[in-house]
Structures are given as C-alpha cells and as structure tokens.
A = this chain, B = another copy of it.
Amino acid sequence: MYQVNENYLKLPGSYLFSTIGKKVAAYSAEHPEKTIIRLGIGDVTQPLAPAIIEAMHKAVDEMGHAETFHGYAPDLGYEFLRNAIAKNDYQDRGADIQPDEIFVSDGAKCDSGNIQEIFSLDNKIAVCDPVYPVYVDTNVMAGRTGTYDPKTERWSDVIYMPCTADNGFAPELPKETPDLIYLCFPNNPTGSTITKDQLQVWVDYANKVGAVIIYDAAYEAYISEENVPHTIYECEGAKTCAIELKSFSKNAGFTGVRLGYTVIPKELKCGDVSLHALWARRHGTKYNGAPYIVQRAGEAVYSEAGKAQLKEQVGYYMNNAKTILTGLKDAGYTVSGGVNAPYIWLKTPDKMNSWEFFDYLLENAGVVGTPGSGFGPSGEGYFRLTAFGSYENTVKALERIKAL
C-alpha cells in the first residue's frame, strides 16, 4: 500500500494567501452590499505597459506562422532575454554576472520553493521572522524542518532571525550556524531593507561559515534610497556564496504573466560540485521553460520604452505607498516600510493580535490586509498593507481607516 509524504501533514493550516482568499470570499458572500478594497495579497492592479503589450502581440503573431513558430525553449531560457538581464540587472551595475549564469523561469515563487531541492535534507535553514511563507513551507514539505511546536509557532530545526522594531527589522547574524540562509531585501513583509555594508557582513559571514545565501530580490525595483544594494552581487565575494532570485511580477506587473529568473554563479561550489550544474539538471529534467511569448514580454521590460513606462508604473505604486504611510501616521499608527518597498508594516492598535485586526479592518472598513503573524511568530501584533491597489482605492481605504 502506498503512503503519502508525511511532511505535508505537519503543515499547520493552509497556505497563508489561500486562507485570506477564502476568508474574504466568505465575508463577501455574506455582505454582497459591501465594496471591499484588497490591500492584502501582493497582487498588482495596473495593466501591462504598452511596450510589453506590443511585444506580446508580435510574439503571438510569430507563433501563428511556421517560419517564426517557437516550440520548446532552450533549457536556461532564450538568449535574447538572458542577455538583456545580464546587461541591465547586473553588468550595468558593476556586477559581473554572465548570461549563462541566469536561469529563466515562470516566477520567483516556484524558484524559491524549488531551490531547496538541490541541497541535502540534513542542511539547516535560517529565515528572517517574519518571512514570506514559501521559504519555510517548502522546507517543511521536503522534511528539513523537524517538528512544529504550536505554542511557539516554531519548527525545531529552523533558525529564526527575529526582525522587529527593536533591531530596525534587520536580522542579526544567528548564534547557531546555518547551512542555507534565506534573505529578502527589500523585505517582504516588513518593507524594510539593509545597506550594502550590512549585506556585505552577511556575504562575509556566509563565506566564512560555508553557508549559501538564497537572496530574494523580488522588490528591487522599489529601492529609492542610495546605498541600498540592487543585487547581492554588488557585494565582494557574493559569487562564491549566493544564489539570487528575481521576479518580473512587481517591477513589470507580471503576476498573471509569470516570469522570473535565478542566478547561480559558476564559482558557487560545494567542494567539486557546481550548484549551477545541479540546478541546470533540475531545470532540464523537471521544467520546460517559460512561454516564448512571455520571454519576449520580459525582453520588452528592458527596452527604452519599457524602462520608461515601468519607471512610471513603479512610481504610481510608490505614490500609493506614500499615501498609506502618511495616512496611517496621521491616524496615529506606528508604521515602517513603504520607502524602498511596496509594503507598509504597521503595529496593530489596542493590543489586538494580527488576525483580530484583520477581522476588525475587514468588518469595519472593508479593507483587506495581511496579518503579520501569518509570516511568522515575530510578525504577531503587526499587519501588512500593500501599495499595489489603484490610487483611488488606496485613498478610499485610508479614508475608511482614518474614520475608524
């Protein structure tokens, strides 16, 4: 008789955003008269930029003619896209990353969930707390996290690095030595970030203790301040200790288009074993590439027109962030984030816990956010709002919150 993967049964509750979706759907069904404003899940609302639409139409036409039809994509992704990424996201910033160190994928969620597969099950992970739930959940599914204690809401074999107001939402080097370190800056969910000097400390630490940093730079496009690194490869020595994950979801509105990439430098080795070769093997065996049309859309992100249009789009969302940040401050909330990131992180008022505040806000203001505790125990008492709504809805949501 077959058996299931028992690690799945250890997961407490369902995936955070599935839970929120169900809760909101149930509330909507009960209160069809209420208009709900969704500032919960980090989904974008602005349409794709004209340069991208144009590129996609062109690619669709190509697929309609035998001479220009495209079947299976190359294992690592099309060169035209990998060249554009290497040049724009790395070489132009002084980071020496080559096109053949880039693996194009259908998004950073898949990559951040799958990357753990190339590592031993005995490896110990370290995560910020609070953190994007995918990092921990996928390690739970693989059987790398030990047992769950519902009281502390912690896994026995995970190293938690609290990020709270006390340390400015920046993790400190862990006391216990980890094998894999997940870092995400600008951070989801707190919206905070760290300087290049601070990131250099992590790179030096990883090289010293023999750890790999899995660096999620999905929100890089929102960086507005100087001295905040746009890629971990700006740091000395990162190529021997870091994997970087990037997404097109937030800088180009691709949440429904699906495109991302992972960088694994060829210097990154465990003894003689190249992590690049392992990931290439996974890509070749378990994946068949992002659609040609989508890879052409990705290329358009780096065109002159695309860059200008997306700068405007990011500016639009950052104006929302400012609106939320200012509005919440005016209403007396303690807030952070929202300057180098599209997320605003607020302290729940009146000692409400995160889910209590979720219900309170949904029922009294018709506004959906994300409970901080959904991202980890140190997120308890916090709440995340996103800047990805429309400007009109963002203004309306803040008016409702202020009126509470």
Contacts and interface: CB of A to CB of B under 8 A. Distances in A.
A273 B111 CA distance: 27
A2 B286 contact: no
A281 B15 contact: yes
A57 interface: yes
A5 B70 contact: no
Given A11-B281, A141-B282, A210-B1, A66 B390 contact: yes
Contacts of A282: 8, 141
B64 A119 contact: no
Interface stretch (A48-56, A221-229, A359-367): A48-56
Interface residues of A, number: 83
A114 B285 CA distance: 10
A63 B257 contact: yes
A233 B378 CA distance: 48
Given A255-B71, A256-B73, A120 B18 contact: no
Contacts of A278: 4-5, 8
Interface stretch (A193-201, A288-296, A330-338): A288-296
Given A63-B47, A138-B285, A120 B3 contact: yes
Nearest to A41: B72
A179 B288 CA distance: 27
Interface string A70-111: 111101000000000000000000000000000000110110
A212 to B, nearest CB: 5
Nearest to A211: B2
A141 B286 CA distance: 10
A119 B3 contact: yes
B273 A9 contact: yes
11 contacts: A2-B179, A2-B210, A9-B273, A47-B63, A56-B60, A56-B63, A56-B293, A72-B256, A113-B287, A255-B288, A293-B293
